[in-house]
Amino acid sequence: SLFILTGLGLLIYFKNEKIKVEERKAEETKQKSIGKVKVGGPFELLNVGNGQRFNQDDLLGKFSLIYFGFTNCPDICPEELDKMCDVVNRINQDQFKVPIQPIFVSVDPNRDTPEAIIQYLKDFHSSMIGLTGSYESIKKMCKVYRVYFSTPPNLKPTDDYLVDHSIFFYLMAPNGNFVDAFGKIFSKDEVYTKVNKYMNEWSNGKRFGEEEE
């Protein structure tokens, strides 16, 4: 009976591992498809921290990690933002000449007021920029960044609901061009290693996106 139980345990283990491998392959396929299309472009939103307009020109001169989410997200958004902030902290310790800025873009303007976003981001990185705007302006930015989001129709700010959205954060280069996207399957160590590599490549003269023009 012990042999049977051991065999059953191994069967369950390998089945779970197979599922994990398949999930990772599916995620990597998504990553590759993102890389094949143009990501990024013109947008204009509100920086909740200073009340100023924020657009694509504000990405120039520094690396940016951009995450699209909402403040009432129960678990995934906090986990991904924690991961992103950990990467930013470690990159800052590397003391690259070109800085990196973390950015949170709300996909729930119905409830995410500037005050709500400011309060929400206090739990994360002190340098994180919070962006919001009208539904149409957010939709426009999401379109150029290939971000999917969907909210139930006819909602009130007091309603309790979830926003279905893409779970990626995006690395943009100091020239405003897309570098890479990181999905939920990537650990903070994996993301840090990749971002560090890209920033070193930039320091050594590589200009992302320009070699394809």
DSSP-derived 3-state class of residue 193:
helix
pLDDT, residue 30, reads: 46
**pLDDT digits 0-9 by tens, 78-122:** 999 999 999 999 999 998 999 999 999 998 888 899 999 999 999
**Domain ranges (residues) in the chain:** 1-36, 44-212
Compute the mean pLDDT over every residue in the chain, rounded to the nearest whole number: 84
Contact 128, 89 (CB under 8 A): no
As a whole number of angstroms, the distance between CA 151 and CA 72 comes to 13
Superfamily of domain 44-212: Glutaredoxin (3.40.30.10)
User: Residue 26 pLDDT more than 50?
Assistant: no
Asked if 40 and 56 count as a contact pair (C-beta separation under 8 A), the reply is: yes
Query: Is 142 known to sit in a ligand binding site?
Result: no
pLDDT value for 165: 63
Instruction: Kindly report whether the global pTM for this prediction surpasses the value 0.85.
Output: no
C-beta of residue 167 within 8 angstroms of C-beta of residue 183: yes
User: What pLDDT is recorded for position 5?
Assistant: 52
Band (pLDDT 50/70/90 cuts) for residue 152 is low
Task: Establish whether 73 is an annotated binding residue.
Answer: yes
85 among annotated binding-site residues? no
Look up residue 50 and give its amino acid.
N
Mean pLDDT of 184-190: 95
Max intra-chain CA distance, the chain = 69
